[in-house]
Structure 1
């Protein structure tokens, strides 16, 4: 219980960060609408796994190196922006379902993305996000005390990964419930396109801000 206050602070900061619209949110919404619950949940698991990547390099101090090395940070930013543009193009090309009898876009497109691709999409979307690097840098330098044992820090990291994955799995489930799916109906591709525009905006922000 010695580190309970520190853990509560981390949990609250993480809750605000994970609930804020960003690349992870956009890609989970897009996959929920375009491919269905299973694909969105697998994507969410990939996002949670990517958190472990950020935790790993933060524990060994690499987040400081990345954040304080302009060219390295810029390279990551441009790679992330290029990947978001790639995802955005796919979203913007979404159109009406070919089968007018089917009630949801998710049902029509559910078999169009493999679990492996969904997992990698989630992992890369979060793993290449330099904003996540800055978040974990601030977390492991400003919030987590330097004297906190390595094992406790690792425990924090595991919590962040699991909590992130569960949050987006919940979002995936919520978006694919029958009532929400019926509400989206055959017009769900418009939400897909909106997510595409959001992804383009996030890519531009990475490059120019």
Structure 2
């Protein structure tokens, strides 16, 4: 296959995958609601950079090792589920802030951004299903004759495209028209995200046991 047809197939498949709701979406939504645009964007960047981990796994063969070694796959799954449960319990305990607390949340965007970046990176990086997705992408769609330089371009694109998608989502979720409402009523969304993260963690655990 030549570069462009192969690239367009990869881009199309990736777009469908990244647009599907999952842990990454929940993380971005939670930080957008609770801390605002800056934190949500940092979470998006963390998610995008974590994509490079999965691409690296696929290129050097670690992805094959994870997919063919049950205990290693289970270990990644348990770690991912545990982290999602940790995030879920924090979100479920969200309380309605008063005006001063709402302002304080907005002003805490800088330290929250660092946590958001780490949360995005770990959530995506520990997701074994994401590793399997990229492994399948590189094994099925990308030809064995494709040069390594092209594969590296694909990997960088997938990382940038993922970040761009979630940054766009962050911009939509933190539109000024709804920001005031989110600051005061966002704890309901926070709790909802806590439930979603809890269900995702349980689903992940259920799928491996």
TM-score by length of 2: 0.93
Superposition pairs for residues 132-171 of structure 1, below 5 Å?
132-171=130-169
Note if contact 1:7-1:156 (Cα within 8 Å) is conserved in structure 2.
yes
Q: Which residue of 2 aligns with 1:27?
A: 27
Alignment of 1:1-209 (within 5 A): 2-99=2-99, 107-110=103-106, 111=108, 113-184=111-182, 186-209=184-207
Contact 1:97-1:108 within 8 A present in 2 as well: no
Query: C-alpha distance in 2, partners of 1:23/1:99?
Result: 30
- Please tell me the root mean square deviation across aligned C-alpha atoms, in Å: 1.7
**Poorly superposed stretches of 4+, deviation over 4 Å:** none
Q: Does the CA-based 8 Å contact 2:55-2:155 persist in structure 1?
A: yes
Q: Secondary structure at the match of 1:97?
A: coil
Moved more, 88-97 or 72-81: 88-97
State the 1:16 CA deviation. Answer: 0.7
1:11-70 CA distance string (max 9 Å, x none) = 111111111011100000000000111011111111111011111111111101101100
State the Cα distance separating 1:177 from its structure 2 match: 0.9
Q: Which structure dedicates a bigger proportion of its chain to helix?
A: 2
CA displacement, residues 94-130 of structure 1 (integer Å, 9 cap, x when unaligned): 1111217x8xx5x541306443322111100100011
Unaligned runs of 5+ in 1: none
Q: CA deviation at 1:182?
A: 4.0
Contact conserved, 2:88 with 2:195, CA < 8 A, in 1?
yes
The TM-score normalised by the length of structure 1 is: 0.93
Unaligned runs of 5+ in 2: none
The range that moved more, 91-100 or 129-138, is 91-100
**SS where residue 145 of structure 2 aligns?**
coil
SS in 2 for 1:166: helix
